[in-house]
Amino acid sequence: MGTRASLLITCLVDTLFPDVGRASVTILERVGVAVDVPLEQTCCGQMHQNAGHPKDATRLMRRTIEAFKDADVVVSPSPSCAAQVVEHYPHLADRTGDPGLIREARDLAARTRDLSTYLVEDLGLEDVDAPAFPHSVTYHPTCHGLRLLGIGDRPQRLLRNVPGIELRDLPQATSCCGFGGTFAVTNADVSTAMMSDKLRAVQDTGAEILTAADSSCLMHMGGGLSRQRAGVRPLHYAEILAGVAR
């Protein structure tokens, strides 16, 4: 009773992957968390920051801080956007020299985690009562979750408890898929070359499903799989845990 979490849904999931948002709500409510979605949130500003526009990123940081000022815990289905809040907001705030903003940015950073960390560490759950998923699945650990946020194998620990699932190891798993936000457009050729190698590794596993924790990377890899008519289906791990995908 009384466990509340506010969803940092992210502009990408909100706009392009609504099912991942619905899956996150489903899982959280299933384990007894009251979910709240502050609708004043838009974009965390990661795109602007990484493209070299820190002022715009700061503007969006102020907005995000305001949108979540009443949240106890902020949970995001995107480790990359969670990392923007946890790792980069404090630095962005420092640049402004505004003591109030610096305090608020650190405060929000301390209250924010990705979905897998919230489930496994805060709630102590590795089994979230997922319905059966009788498919072969390979998991790609996305870079910002792995290296910036340090989520480790938490998504895999959650997936291991899904009845019927068969998890297959991905060769060279920790190598970047080539998305990199605007990198996919500014360096499209290199991004595609990295993606090709990643997709070859995915297909070598023979898995039916490619899963990951970040919809952005899945959009990139899934977009490539689709173009190649590879017959491998991309799913966010929350979609598997929620049972919205069968």
Partner 1 sequence: MSARWPETPVDFPKAAHETLKDSQLRSNLGHATTAIRAKREDVVSEVDDWESLRDEGAAARDRSLRRLDEMLVRLEESVTAAGGHVHWAADKESAQRLVVDLVKATGSDEVIKVKSLLTDELELNPALQDAGIHAQETDLAELIVQLGGDRQSHILVPAIHRNRREIRDIFRRELPGAEDVSDDPAALAEAARRHLREQFLRVPVAISGANAAVAETGTVAVVESEGNGRMCLTMPKTLITVMGIEKVLERWEDLGTIMRLLPRSSTGERMNPYTSLWTGVTPDDGPEEFHLVLVDAGRTNALADPVGRDTLRCIRCSACLNVCPVYERTGGQAYESIYPGPIGAILTPQLQGLDTAPTLPWASSLCGACYEVCPVKIDIPKILVHLRGRVTAETNASGKGHHAGAERLAMRSVARVMDSRRAYEAAQKAGRLGLSLMNNGRGARGALPGLSGWTGSRDLPDPERSFRDWWREREAGELEQGPDAPALPQAAQDPAARSGAAMPGTPGPEDALPTDVPRLHGEDRA
Judged by beta carbon, residue 26 or residue 112, the one nearer partner 1 is 26
Minimum distance of partner 1 from residue 166's CB (angstroms): 19
Minimum distance of partner 1 from residue 101's CB (angstroms): 15
- Return the closest-CA partner of residue 92 out of 48, 124, 125, 135: 48
Minimum distance of partner 1 from residue 60's CB (angstroms): 6
Judged by beta carbon, residue 110 or residue 185, the one nearer partner 1 is 185
Neighbours of 185 (CB within 10 A): 10
Minimum distance of partner 1 from residue 176's CB (angstroms): 4
The residues with which 75 forms a beta bridge, in sequence order, are: 7, 113
Minimum distance of partner 1 from residue 126's CB (angstroms): 20
- Return the closest-CA partner of residue 152 out of 181, 180, 114, 123: 114
Distances (CA, A) of 218 to 60, 70, 88, 178: 24, 31, 23, 11
Judged by beta carbon, residue 155 or residue 222, the one nearer partner 1 is 222
- Return the closest-CA partner of residue 91 out of 68, 45, 42, 58: 58
Cβ–Cβ under 8 Å, residues 41 and 8: yes
Judged by beta carbon, residue 56 or residue 122, the one nearer partner 1 is 56
Judged by beta carbon, residue 108 or residue 195, the one nearer partner 1 is 195
- Return the closest-CA partner of residue 20 out of 233, 237, 246: 237
CA distance 233 to 235: 6
Minimum distance of partner 1 from residue 38's CB (angstroms): 10
Phi-psi bin for 169: left (phi > 0), alpha (psi -120 to 50), beta? beta
- Which positions ≥6 away from 132 have C-beta within 8 Å? 162, 163, 164
Judged by beta carbon, residue 18 or residue 206, the one nearer partner 1 is 18
